[in-house]
A and B are shown apart, each in its own frame.
Chain A
Amino acid sequence: MMQEIGVVARKRRATVPVRWYMTLGVVAALVLLPRVITTPYYLHLLILVLLYVGLSSAWNLTGGFAGQLSLGHAGFFGIGAYASTLLFLNFGLSPWIGMVVGMLLAVVAGAAIGYPCFRLRGPFFALATLAFGEVLRVVSISWRDLTQGSNGLSIPFKPGFANMMWHGKEMFFYVILVYALVAVGIVWQIERSRLGYYLIALKEDDSAARMLGIDTTRCKLYAMLISAALTAVGGVFYAQYVGFIEPYSVFDVNQSVQFALISIIGGLGTVLGPVLGAFIMIPLSEMLRAAFGGAARGFHLVLYGLILMAVVMIVPQGLALEVKDRYKRWWMARQSAISRRKGQADAV
């Protein structure tokens, strides 16, 4: 008996640290990356990838875990970007404070659009949130006194930690790395929490979950609010990194689509899905642009569209689950092969 407990304990000790070591290893590698990659272009690419890891992880909370396919997250993204930029330009307020304001505004907006729309299913929720993002875009274009309309807002370059601006890209890389890690960490924690289980239950069957006493609307709302706040933070970083925002870039439907797309390609409702998706899709689109962008206008996007269709049709559950499944199947096959060989050996 004691021996058995000892075995279990040792096993547990053996399995948990491996995961932690792997995570630590990946993080350490990422932290050291700017020492290896000194080309500004690759560093820029990496920053973009990490930014979208964070943004898509945020989207995945609503779209994947809660199963509410939002196409309006550009709204939260833009709210964050505009909140911090306007506060900085008009009142000289640090973007770090603007970030908090942006998060609060995004949470309010998330509640305002989410609460009435959560009873809409599937495509209807997608359409309603799409309209929500578009309303914000139209308003930001026509409210010229505040936003300068289509001209956009440029942020003057005044480096310093308080202004969230630095010379070179390295410091930005670390800030966005922290953002991506925090976003993934939050999603990971939620997946293992009570809320995470409730979300899985309501995604599978909303009315059954309600029958079991889960307040599904409240769960969806929590997911939406966390997701909105995280997306707004991404918007602030985007504005500070690019130094220029306009309605067509931050409130664009294509931003919402990008967040969703990365999660779907990587794997809806999985922690690693958005990470995998961002590390594949962002470099892919950049690579296609670099390789074919000069040859014929639009050709790289034709390829991009075709690849997107192919991936969705061939791997509808996303790459993360597909890889996991394949690995599991391979592992099982290996195990059964080993035991079969053992059986043969024993028989001999």
Chain B
Amino acid sequence: MDLMLGQVLISGILLGGIYALISMGLTLIFGVTRIVNFAHGEFMMLSMFAASVLSQQYGLDPYVAVIPIAALAFLAGAATQRIIIQPLLNASHASQIFVTMGLSITLMNVALMVWGADFQSVRTPYEAVVLPLGPWSVGVPRLVTFLVAVAMMVGLMLFLNRTYMGKAITAVSQDRMAALLMGIDVNRVYVVAFGIGIACVGVAGAVLTPIYSVFPTVGQYFALTAYVVVVLGGFGSMVGAMVGGMSIGVVEALSGYFISPGLKEAVYLLIFIAVLVIRPSGLFGIVGAEEMGVK
């Protein structure tokens, strides 16, 4: 294989791991609540700042800081659902979208007030370490991110398939009314699902700090991509998020290589629109489930 093309593919797959990691929490939340959460990227940004602060002030490695950050993110997510989203569950989509928009503006600017607009980066001993893989090379932080994404996928699948709460979340995401009639406390499922989803994006934020700089609008950069991945993979599907993330990563890398680096976003956004129009249930979603709860 062409040496250059191979490296492009590898970096695409690893980038896909990053996208998958960010998208898993979103697919869980969007799959269950069908609310476009515009603040998703902001939760990631906040956890990146948290990892950065813990690393600079207390010398905590981002890979260790993942644990307290995930716990905090769970609480923040559950509180967001309970206080802000729950009262609007029966309101129009416009209200739901714009309340999360307000949250996004608020969180972004709180970060701006506290940390300023400058780029901050976390120094780690392994940030520039590169492993050889045949004739190609793989950066350690990206490899770790990819592995975390795989681990998160397996963990979430076990949780969703093996535990009562997980099954309840799956049931609600497939058919809210039927789940309610089966005696599932739907509101509680929402709170837990939102909490877990935000915890996942918290993990993503912490794990990404060795790779990306932190600044208040960093979340916006990733949020739309996360939606592309979620729709491509199918709502609520963890395998879908993984495959979707990797597809988008590879598409981005290849179109950056073959077409133009400036247009790679346009390419996957067009794919996104096409998927929405042709198969809105995504690659791994249940056909028809995407219409649930959406009048």
Contact = CB atoms under 8 A, between A and B. Distances in A.
Nearest to B230: A127
Contacts of A120: 276-277, 280
A297 B117 contact: yes
A306 B102 contact: yes
B276 A123 contact: no
Given A69-B93, A313-B87, A301 B105 contact: yes
A232 interface: no
A313 B290 CA distance: 26
A305 interface: yes
Interface in A91-140: 113, 116-117, 119-124, 126-128, 130-132, 134-135, 138-139
Contacts of A298: 108-113, 216
A309 B276 contact: no
B291 interface: yes
B36 interface: yes
Contacts of A257: 101
Interface in B267-283: 269-270, 272-273, 276-277, 280
B276 A138 contact: no
Contacts of A297: 112-113, 116-117
Interface stretch (B15-23, B127-135, B257-265): B257-265
Q: Size band of the B side of the interface?
A: 35 or more
A117 B265 contact: no
Interface stretch (A38-46, A162-170, A172-180, A260-268): A260-268
A188 interface: no
Given A122-B294, A305-B109, A261 B101 contact: yes
Given A308-B101, A313-B84, A134 B95 contact: no
B290 A124 contact: yes
B177 to A, nearest CB: 17
A308 B98 CA distance: 8
B180 interface: no
B231 interface: yes
A135 B266 contact: yes
A312 interface: yes
B106 A306 contact: yes
Interface of B, helix, strand, loop or mixed by DSSP = helix
Interface string B249-261: 0000000000010
Contact of A305 (B36, B103, B224, B269): B103
Interface string A214-229: 0000000000000000
Interface residues of A, number: 44
Contact of B88 (A127, A130, A131, A316): A316
B97 interface: yes
Contacts of A113: 273
A307 B105 CA distance: 11
A122 B34 CA distance: 9
20 contacts: A116-B277, A123-B34, A124-B276, A126-B93, A128-B277, A131-B224, A132-B273, A134-B266, A134-B269, A138-B265, A264-B95, A268-B94, A296-B113, A297-B112, A301-B109, A302-B105, A305-B103, A306-B102, A308-B101, A312-B99
Interface of B: 34-36, 84, 87-88, 91-95, 97-99, 101-113, 116-117, 216, 224, 227-228, 231, 260, 262-263, 265-266, 269-270, 272-273, 276-277, 280, 290-291, 294-295
Given A69-B93, A122-B294, A309-B106, 16 more contacts: A121-B294, A127-B276, A128-B272, A135-B265, A138-B265, A138-B266, A205-B295, A257-B101, A261-B98, A268-B94, A298-B216, A301-B105, A301-B109, A308-B99, A312-B98, A316-B88
